[in-house]
Each structure stands twice: as structure tokens, then as C-alpha cells.
Amino acid sequence: MSKRIVWLSAALVLLGAVGTYVLSLEDTSDVDIEEKEVALPVVSYVTAQANDNTGHISVFAEVRPRWTADLKAQVSGKLLSVAPQALEGKQVAKGEAMAQLEKHTYEAQLEDARYQQSTAEFNLKKKQNKHILALKNWRAVNPQEEPPEMAVHIPELRVAEKALEAAIQKVKVAQYDVNATTIKAPFSGFVTKRHVSIGQSISVGDTLFTLLDAEQLDITVSLDKDQWDLLEKAWQEFPAKIYNSSKEMVGLAKIQRGGGFLDPKSRRYQLFLEVVNTPETSILPGEFVTVELQSRTVQDSLKLPATALTQEGFIWFLNNKDELQRFEADVIFRDDTDIIVHMPDVLRDLGEKRVVQLPMAAFLPGQHVAPTPAGH
């Protein structure tokens, strides 16, 4: 009987010890849960202010040469030579000789035209002397009367003058033909195609070379209605920046004109720019570039880090209770680092406009967080 009492007492003691241990575990669990509930997610923010901001309008465009010409023969003849600088891929200067046609025939025609001019000058001189002599004789006999034109050979004088004028023009035409036997570059540029060979017989109108302007480059950009409205209208004061495919600045361009009409196909505004030719400019005809245009000033707007904008187009911010809220952003400009958005109504009444720098997908509106300034 005593043994049974001992065992029962031991069992009760053991059961009490187990119960006490279990209760202690529950108390620890409650403490852990309370500690976890107290630990708020840390959110870094930037302080935004409403300002008058300016941005840039970036558009993709092609650089085009101002002049592209197929040089055609103005006279016929045998091609005697082609200058080394006139080969494909070479650059020629304005007025530089590119090829030479046989010109003996045209030189002979020039000499004949000069002979005809000399003959016409001689005939005119004779008619002038004849007119002067006839006029003296008339006045000696009839000093009070004006002589008739036929009597003093005025019609013959007029014919001689016209003959001389025609002879002078023939000399000019013949000289032009002689000059045309030397093919010269009408502007500085690159020879992109040679169409003839030495010894070839050339006819009038045959294409000899294709020349591409290398110094005067133009860019035409296309803007939609929103971009056009954001463009700085005093554009002559703000040159556009040009970037290559590696995002390196390679030159500047001046806006010359634009906005007078819409493209008939795209119905977009056209803006015409001229590349500023400087030693630092490194742009080639036919290159695709990004043109950065100056925008007008946008009043009452926010400039924020580009990371603040979510993929869904929202921007998260903190209210006065350190709770997460969001608004759908009306983005005006953006680049790799910053965005400019219109001031939303939900931020106007907030004294300190704290915008989340790097929002997370798990954020929920009304979620309580622990804010910290970005960079701390």
C-alpha cells in the first residue's frame, strides 16, 4: 500500500513538472510572436518638393546628308582619266577634279566661236563708222532736221550689235562645254559609287559618279502631339544633343524649322535640324542616333528617382502615420536616372512628401512601416 502511494506521488510530481514546462514554452512563444509583430519593415524614402522642372524629349532619328547627287556627263567623249580621289570610298573636296573627258573637239569649237566673235566685233566697228559718216553728211546738208534711220544706217548698226551679242553667247557655250570635259565635285563629300571606267565612251546624260555630302548633315525628327506640346518653343536658343547607339554624345544640332505641317502618313509633327559642324562632331551620314530636345518648363511637378516607379505605373509614398499609400503616376519625362511627374492631389496636403525610393511587390496600401531617409 505504501509503495502504491509512493508511485502515485511520483507520478503527480512528474505530471506537474511536465505541465510547468509546457506552460513555460507557451509563454516564450507568446513573447516571440509579440516581438515579431513589433518588428516593422524598414522602408527608405526620398523627400520630394513641388518645383518648376524641365526635362528632355528623346527621339530616334537617322542622320541624312543634305546633298546626294549622281554626277552626269554634260558633254560626250572618251574618258581619259579618273583621279585617285574619285575612287569609291574616297572623300573629295568641293571643286576638285574627279575625271577628264577628251576635249579637243570642244576646244576647236571654242576657237571657232571666238573667231566668230572677233568677226562680229569687226563688222560692228564698220557699221559704227558707216553710221557716223552718214550722220555727219546728213547734218552738213540738213542741219535742222533729224535724219531717218535708213539714211544713217541705224538698222544695219542694230543687226551688227545683235550679231556680236550672239557671238559672245556662243563663246560662253563653247567655253562651258570645254569646262564640262573636266568633271568636278559640286560639293565636298564621299564617292559612294563609280559608274565608268577609263577608255569608255561617254554620252551626254551618262552617270559617272554618285556623291554623298559629308559636311552638311540634316536630321528630321517626328513628334507626337504630346511631345510637340512639351517642346520648348524658343528652340533656337537650345541646341539639341545627339547620342550614338552607345549613349555617347557625338554632336549638337540646331533646330531650323518645324511644325508647319503634319507628315501625311504618320500624322506627326516634323522637326528639321542641322548638325553643327565642329571638330568634335563624330557623326556619319546614314547613322541612327538619339536626339535629345529641350522641353518647356513644367510647373508644379515632382522630380523623383526612376526607381520609385513600379512596373505597374504606381509610386508609393508615406502618409503622416508612416503608412504606405500609392498613386498612379502621370509621367512627363523619364531617363535612366530620374522621372518627372505631375503633382498628384494626394500629396498636396502633406507637409513632408516622402516617396519610397525602391518599392517592393509585397507592399500593401495602409501597411505600417519603419521609414528611414535614403542613404542612411
Q: What is the pLDDT of residue 37?
A: 57
Q: Whose CA is closest to 290, among 28, 56, 71, 7?
A: 56
**Does residue 11 have a pLDDT over 90?**
no
Q: What is the pLDDT of residue 31?
A: 43
Report the mean per-residue pLDDT for the chain: 87
CA 297-299-304 angle, to 5 degrees, is 90
Q: What is the pLDDT of residue 30?
A: 47
Ramachandran sector of residue 278 (left: φ over 0; alpha: ψ -120 to 50; beta: rest):
beta
pLDDT band at 22 (very low <50, low <70, confident <90, very high): very low
Mean pLDDT of 189-206: 93
Please, where are the H alpha helices in the chain?
2-38, 104-141, 154-180, 225-230, 345-348
Alpha-carbon gap, residue 16 to 290, rounded angstroms:
81
Alpha-carbon gap, residue 186 to 207, rounded angstroms:
14
Mean pLDDT of 24-31: 48
Is 190 strand, coil or helix? strand
Alpha-carbon gap, residue 188 to 186, rounded angstroms:
7
Beta-bridge partner residues of 258: 271
- Provide the whole-model pTM: 0.65
Alpha-carbon gap, residue 157 to 155, rounded angstroms:
5
Alpha-carbon gap, residue 68 to 213, rounded angstroms:
6
For 57-65+216-294, CATH number out of 3.40.718.10, 3.40.190.10, 3.40.50.970, 2.40.30.170 equals 2.40.30.170
Q: What is the pLDDT of residue 28?
A: 47
Beta-carbon neighbour count of residue 330 at 10 Å? 13
Mean pLDDT of 256-282: 86
pLDDT band at 34 (very low <50, low <70, confident <90, very high): very low
Top-level class of domain 42-52+298-373: mainly beta
Alpha-carbon gap, residue 371 to 41, rounded angstroms:
8
Alpha-carbon gap, residue 91 to 65, rounded angstroms:
14
Q: What is the pLDDT of residue 158?
A: 95
Beta-carbon neighbour count of residue 217 at 10 Å? 24
| Under 8 Å between Cβ of 331 and 341 | yes
Numbered ranges of CATH 2.40.420 in the chain: 42-52+298-373
Q: pLDDT tens-digit profile of 301-333?
A: 999 999 999 999 999 999 999 999 999 999 888
Could you tell me what percent of the chain has a pLDDT over 90?
57
Residues making up the chain, counted from first to last: 376
Could you tell me what percent of the chain has a pLDDT over 70?
90
pLDDT band at 259 (very low <50, low <70, confident <90, very high): confident
Mean pLDDT of 60-81: 94
Alpha-carbon gap, residue 245 to 290, rounded angstroms:
8
Please state which of the ranges 16-20, 269-273, 291-295 shows the lowest mean pLDDT. 16-20
Q: pLDDT tens-digit profile of 98-120?
A: 999 999 999 999 999 999 999 99
Is 19 strand, coil or helix? helix
Q: Using only the alpha carbons of the chain, give its radius of gyration.
A: 45
CATH code for the domain defined by 68-212: 2.40.50.100
pLDDT band at 156 (very low <50, low <70, confident <90, very high): very high
Numbered ranges of CATH 2.40.50.100 in the chain: 68-212
pLDDT band at 53 (very low <50, low <70, confident <90, very high): confident
Mean pLDDT of 182-187: 94
Alpha-carbon gap, residue 191 to 197, rounded angstroms:
15
Q: pLDDT tens-digit profile of 221-235?
A: 999 888 888 888 887
56-65/288-294 β-pairing = antiparallel
Q: pLDDT tens-digit profile of 344-353?
A: 988 888 888 9
Alpha-carbon gap, residue 190 to 85, rounded angstroms:
9
Numbered ranges of CATH 2.40.30.170 in the chain: 57-65+216-294
Q: What is the pLDDT of residue 2?
A: 57
Maximum alpha-carbon separation in the chain: 190
